[in-house]
Structure 1
Amino acid sequence: MSHRHPLFARFYARTSLLMERGVGAHRRTLLDGLTGRAIEIGAGNGLNFPHYPDTLTQVIAVEPEPHLRTLAATNAAHATVPIKIVDGWADRLPADDASCDAAIASLVLCSVPDQDAALAEIARVLKPGGQLRFFEHVHHPRPARRRIQQTLDVTRVWPWFGGGCHCSRGTLTAIKRTGFTIDHLDTLTSADTGMPFPTAPQILGTATRP
C-alpha cells in the first residue's frame, strides 16, 4: 500500500497553517508536561514541533508521506528539542519495545488503515505506565450527523478527499479496547478548534499504558 498522496499533501500543507489559529492552543495542551523520549505517529509537516517542551530528550517523528516528511525535516531544524524524522507506518513503528515514555497521535488515527493495529503498536513501543497523548476528530454524537459521516466514509468520498481520512471512527472506543486507561478527556467542537463538520467533534486527552 502506497502512502504517497502528493495532491493531498500539498493541499494539507497549506490549509493546516490556516487551521493553526484554532488548533495551535490545543496542540500546546496536548504536549504540555511531556518528559523523556516521545514518538509522534503521523507527524505531517511538523506543526506540533514548536509546542514540544524542552523537558523531552528526543522526539521520533514518524511520517510516511514523502512531501510532508520533507517539510517536517525543515521544521524540526527550528525546534527546541532534538527531533528525528523517520519514514514509517503506524502499524510497524520504527522503535523498540518499551522504548518510549510517551506517544503522540494528533489528527492521524482517522487515516491509519487499521486503528487496532496502530494502537497495538503504540502500546508496544511505550514503557509500562507510558502515556498516549491524543487529539483526534471522531464520530458525531447526534445520529443524523453520524449517518452523514458514515455515508461519506462508506462511499469513499471523504477518504478520497482527505488522503485516507475517515470521519466516522469511534477512536475513543478503540483506545480503550487496546487496553489503555483514559486519564483525562476533553470533547471539543468546531467553536473550540475551528475544524468544521464532518471533522467535528474532536477529543483531546491522555491515556496510560498498563
Structure 2
Amino acid sequence: MLPVRLMGVSSMADLSAFQHPRFARMYERISGESERRGTAEHRDRMLAGLSGRVIEVGAGNGMNFGHYPDTVTEVVAVEPEDRLRALAERAAARSAVPVRVLAGHADALPAEGGEFDAAVASLVLCSVPDVARALAEIRRVLRTGGELRFYEHVRSDRRWVGFLQDAITPLWSLGGGGCRLNRDTAAAIRAAGFDIVRLERFSYAPIQYIPRHAHILGRARA
C-alpha cells in the first residue's frame, strides 16, 4: 500500500472550498466533445513514454486514465471535487493501468516526499488557488530528476487578447470552478525550480462556440 501523509486535508470538510457541483456537471457534459475535437490526441502526446509511479494532480473525471502507457506501474489520482472524483473512480475501474483515486488537493498532496517518478498536471494549474504552492508540492513528491508532464491553457502572448483575458478572468472564474484564463503557467513552472525540457505552444478550441486560445504542452524535470 502507498504510504500516505495527509497533511491535515484528509477530511471531506477540508475540501469544502473545492466543491463546484454546477461546474462539475458542465465539465462532465463537455469533456466528451473536447476529447473528440483533439484533446485526446493532446493527452496521448503529454503522457507518451511515461513509466513507473505517477501522481496525477486534479484528475477531474479521469479522462487521462485511458491514455497512460502500459509502462506506468501505478497512478495515484488526486481530486478534490466530490462529483468529479466519483466519476474518476468509475474511470479507474476501467483503466488498463492501476489507478487509485484519492481525495485531496494540489496545495497539500496526500503523499510522502520523493515518492513518484512523474507527476501529471492536465488542465488544472489554471484553477488551483495558489499555483506556486501547488508546483512546490508537486516538486516535493517527485524523486530527484522526476518528470512533470503538463497540458494547460494559458494567457495569450498576443497583447490585446491577454488584456481581454485579464478583464474577464474574475467573472469567468466564478462560473468556471476557479479557472483563470490569464495564467503564465510556463513561467510559473520555471519559477518553481523545474527545468522545462520540452514546450509546445499552440492555439486550440476544445469545444464549439469557444474561440481558439493558447495552450501549452510539455515536460519538465525536478
**TM-score of the superposed pair, with normalisation by structure 2:** 0.90
**Preserved contact between residue 182 and residue 206 of structure 1 (Cα < 8 Å):** yes
Alignment map for 1:31-42 (pairs within 5 Å): 31-42=47-58
Alignment map for 1:20-169 (pairs within 5 Å): 20-21=35-36, 22-153=38-169, 156-169=170-183
**CA separation in 1, counterparts of 2:134 and 2:125?**
8
| Shift, 1:2, TM fit | 1.1
Task: Please state if 1:18 is matched with 2:50.
Answer: no
The size of the alignment, in residue pairs, is 205
**CA separation in 1, counterparts of 2:32 and 2:207?**
12
**CA separation in 1, counterparts of 2:147 and 2:141?**
11
| Aligned residue identity for 2:173 | P
**Preserved contact between residue 195 and residue 221 of structure 2 (Cα < 8 Å):** yes
**Preserved contact between residue 33 and residue 207 of structure 2 (Cα < 8 Å):** no
**CA separation in 2, counterparts of 1:34 and 1:84?**
17
- The alignment's C-alpha RMSD in Å is 1.3
**CA separation in 1, counterparts of 2:122 and 2:213?**
14
Structure 1 vs Structure 2: percent identity of aligned residues? 50
| Shift, 1:194, TM fit | 5.6
Alignment map for 1:184-199 (pairs within 5 Å): 184-190=198-204, 196-197=210-211
| Aligned residue identity for 1:186 | E
**Preserved contact between residue 106 and residue 137 of structure 2 (Cα < 8 Å):** yes
**TM-score of the superposed pair, with normalisation by structure 1:** 0.95
- In structure 1, the partner of 2:3 is none
| Shift, 1:160, TM fit | 1.1
Structure 1: runs of 5 or more not aligned: none
**Preserved contact between residue 118 and residue 142 of structure 2 (Cα < 8 Å):** yes
**CA separation in 2, counterparts of 1:188 and 1:161?**
25
**Preserved contact between residue 30 and residue 207 of structure 2 (Cα < 8 Å):** no
